[in-house]
Amino acid sequence: MYHQIGMWDQKWVIGNWKMNGRLQNNNALMHRFRILPTAERVLIGLAAPTVYLLQLHNAMQIVLNNRILTCAQDVSRFPNNGAYTGEVSAEMLADTGTDIVLIGHSERSLYFGEKNEIQRRKMENVLNVGLIPLLCVGESLEEREAGKEHEVIAHQLSVLQGLDTKNIAVAYEPVWAIGTGKVATVEQIADMHAFIYKEILSLCGSDVKIRVLYGGSVKADNAADIFAVPYVDGALVGGASLSYDSFTAIISAAQNA
Ligand code: PGA
């Protein structure tokens, strides 16, 4: 990995392509990234569909001198190898150059029923092979309207308790703000990020290094305001990461925050 300052002090801007991308478009995008302005205060990552990770990793190494990290959107709950048709293990992700692995994205719980127990197994598998897990948490609109957002987030964060790591990365993504164009207010983000920091410190000890990213309709025109919020250490960017212009504008906003 190539970093000017320590990654746990940088702002992280991670693009989550979800189920988007094609070989040709991905290559075209990688070539545009060659002129990416220097942003030594920012850790940049792209989470592509698993089938494209190696393509991205190779392009990032050759064309971009590792200035963008390879991120996976998910990983198997099963370690190593075995008779688990369709699954990709953390060891395989490490073998093919992945750096960071998203775990527990709300779309995984919504469509695939993933809850804490599965996320915990995935976190352990990722840590065991030396990769960095990025745990995603977030409340639904109903939960927020019922005033249960802190309770819900605390429950989701309990996955972190007792993990064998001193580096904790979390993305706070209110489900009602994902892909909806509806961004949480600066007050809502400030409140939840401070809460998440406090929870992590009490679950994992005061000597942990922490990054808490915000996610949910982060765009070029709201990124600067979001990065200015205390305890916001970056962004997990869905839709806006599919375009070079909007993604690089968000990276610049992070660099200038
Ligand atoms: P969005 O997605 O930026 O398109 O809202 C964010 C995410 O789900 O990670």
User: Which residues are paired to 167 by β-bridges?
Assistant: 209
Helix (H, G, I), strand (E, B) or coil at 103: strand
Helix (H, G, I), strand (E, B) or coil at 181: coil
Is residue 138 within 8 Å of residue 102, measured between CB atoms? Answer: no
CA 190, 184, 13, 172 torsion: positive or negative? positive
- Cα pseudo-dihedral 206, 73, 237, 174, rounded to 10: -60
Domain residue ranges of the chain, discontinuous segments joined by +: 11-255
Backbone angles phi, psi at 53, to 5 degrees: -60, -40
Mutational test site, ligand 1, from 13, 218, 250, max ligand atoms within 8 Å of CB: 218
Q: What pLDDT, on a 0 to 100 scale, did the predictor assign at position 201?
A: 97
Nearest ligand 1 atom to alpha carbon 16: 9
Is residue 140 within 8 Å of residue 175, measured between CB atoms? Answer: yes
At 74, list the tokens. 């998910």
Q: Which CATH architecture is the domain 11-255 placed in?
A: Alpha-Beta Barrel (3.20)
Is residue 174 within 8 Å of residue 208, measured between CB atoms? Answer: no
Helix (H, G, I), strand (E, B) or coil at 167: strand
- 179 among the known binding-site residues? yes
Q: What is the CA radius of gyration of the chain?
A: 17
143 a catalytic residue: no
Instruction: Give the H or E element holding residue 212.
Output: strand 209-215
All residue ranges of the chain with pLDDT < 70 are 1-4
Question: Could you tell me the distance, in angstroms and rounded to a whole number, from the CA of residue 88 to the centre of ligand 1?
Answer: 23
Question: Could you tell me the distance, in angstroms and rounded to a whole number, from the CA of residue 103 to the centre of ligand 1?
Answer: 14
Mutational test site, ligand 1, from 13, 16, 250, max ligand atoms within 8 Å of CB: 16
Instruction: Kindly report the pTM of this predicted structure.
Output: 0.96
Helix (H, G, I), strand (E, B) or coil at 48: strand
